[in-house]
Chains A and B, each alone.
Chain A
């Protein structure tokens, strides 16, 4: 068990391009969360899965964002037609019980 793994660690993309991030949770954890952190702010909730079911989505998750967790294992977060305001750290976390989050190291996205 190596913790929550996120790939890539850094991504620089041109405005208008699509990007996809991957999160591999701790293997026995059935809950998986995506958060976004911008400079000077705390992490903000984006979405949450229990197994393969996406149970909650924040209003921050516009129609350009989509998240999946096929077969209840790894998860992907895709951003289409990226904008400069999408530049942020995208954090994934997993847990077996409520609140017992383990966060990954995040993917830093820079949109130029």
Chain B
């Protein structure tokens, strides 16, 4: 039962262009969503998050959009840079005490083409 789905295992984007990574979820109790970036042989690193009361959150080159009615979120990276080459995980959780655990998607490997 995959409650958080990343249907694209890989994505290739030209350097300088926009990278769009997508994530769908099925559990309507999820209220908080996060994106993590992972390099080989390292643990995931937090990128950006959004709560269900918002539909957009921006931090530098990274913007996360949430469409709660469609149970869909996306991560936009503009402009894409060579250092963005990594696996990106979408994660979701309920809100508040007792909901600290994260449910992760299977990841999307982003490749930046020079």
Contacts and interface: CB of A to CB of B under 8 A. Distances in A.
Interface of A: 4, 31, 33, 40-45, 48, 56, 58, 91, 93, 95, 98-106
5 contacts: A56-B100, A95-B100, A99-B100, A101-B46, A103-B43
B103 interface: yes
Nearest to B103: A45
A58 B107 CA distance: 21
A13 B33 CA distance: 36
Contacts of B4: 42
Contacts of A98: 96-97, 99-100
Determine the interface band of chain B, counting residues with CB < 8 A from chain A: 20 to 34
Given A42-B104, A42-B107, A43-B104, A103 B45 contact: yes
B93 interface: yes
B100 A42 contact: no
Given A56-B100, A91-B44, A100-B46, 14 more contacts: A40-B9, A40-B106, A42-B91, A44-B104, A45-B101, A45-B102, A45-B103, A48-B101, A98-B99, A98-B100, A99-B93, A102-B46, A103-B44, A105-B41
Contacts of B93: 99
Contacts of A45: 101-103
A43 B41 contact: no
B101 A56 contact: yes
B40 to A, nearest CB: 11
Interface in B67-114: 89, 91, 93, 96-97, 99-107
A43 B96 contact: no
B91 A104 contact: no
Contacts of A43: 44, 89, 102, 104
Contacts of A41: 106-107
